[in-house]
Amino acid sequence: MATWVTYIGCGLRLYGDAGNADLIKIHIRSGKLTLMRFDDFVDKPLPRMMQRVKISLRKQDFDVFDYGGIYTPPYLYRKSRFINEEFPNYAEQVAFDDALDAINLFDLGGYGPKPEDFDAGLANARWCIERFQFMRSQEIPDLDAPCGRFFSYRQFMECGETQARTGIVNWPNQPDTYTALYELATHLLDPIIDYYGMVRLTYGFCAPELARLIPGRIAPKLDQHASHERNRLGNPICERLGAAVDFWVEDEDMIEVGRWIAENLPFDRLYLYGPNNPLHLSYGPEQSRQITLMRPRGQDGRLVPSTLTVDKLRSLQWNPLINQG
């Protein structure tokens, strides 16, 4: 400790007053000190560096670097490393840094990402920062913005046959729907595509206006295709929330695809309709990991559900019809 104090004292004797510095970095091997001043070191979880002074004890000189204008002020990541329990907002800062690590969007090694890359990555993942907390964005993104690594939001809204035939506007009104579609894409579709190759979406987001035009048996109150949209009374159309998509993988047995999903990925509900039919997959708050096999019964063709465990799905031998009797 005494060595550090002496080292800093020598540097400050050369430079002068360090009263404006928020952090002092000691470079023992190179014989340098760095004084750093930030825009609001106390009250911001990601303060931005406004000035850096590099003092060389060996050369007996110093350089001043001011940020702003053409030099973008960088963020200070993981500020909790440099403060202690007595510092204002210490507990909040630790919680913020833990949350940033848990989001797992960025490589924070070294100096971390550039501010513009950090801001863009955070917005793309539908996060925003309010004081010392991460909050889900309430902005409506551009429909052609990326939703995961392989799709845009628009592709989840214009992938169904009925929407393509009618051209009806099928856009979400709720910001949380866009967030749910992003979570579905990143946690489920991205890894599925990494493993199997590109998939074909057959049914994605479904607004009430589109649901009224779809013939056949759909269940907007259960299937999660309405995501976080609300009815005229302001209540969720589907109380399960989350988001759902139907898709198939060309030249793959969709029962086998379902097995892989059940064994490797988190999900809410997985519905299987046979080796040659699209499967239904959702991601939502419950994350129930419910697996349902849908098979036609007899000559009327009515689909009958049966719930499977992962072990039963592993050993399943597909029989397209349910025996009568």
What confidence tens digit (pLDDT) does each residue in 263-308 have?
A: 999 999 999 999 999 999 999 999 999 999 998 877 777 889 999 9
Q: What is the structure's pLDDT at 178? A: 98
Structure tokens at 233: 């009374």
Q: What is the structure's pLDDT at 296? A: 84
Question: Sign of torsion, CA 7 11 12 14?
Answer: positive
pTM: 0.88
Spatial contact of 290 and 269, defined as CB atoms under 8 Å apart = yes
Q: What is the structure's pLDDT at 324? A: 43
Q: What is the structure's pLDDT at 7? A: 58
Q: Pairing between strand 200-203 and 243-248?
A: antiparallel
Below-50 pLDDT ranges, the chain: 2, 324-325
Q: What is the structure's pLDDT at 12? A: 60
> Looking at the chain, which runs of residues are DSSP E strands?
23-27, 32-38, 49-56, 61-66, 127-130, 133-136, 146-147, 151-152, 200-203, 243-248, 269-272, 279-283, 290-297, 302-308
Q: What is the structure's pLDDT at 2? A: 47
Spatial contact of 48 and 76, defined as CB atoms under 8 Å apart = yes
Radius of gyration of the chain (CA): 27
Q: 154 phi and psi, to 5 degrees?
A: -60, -35
Residues 6+ apart with CB under 8 A from 316: 255, 293, 308
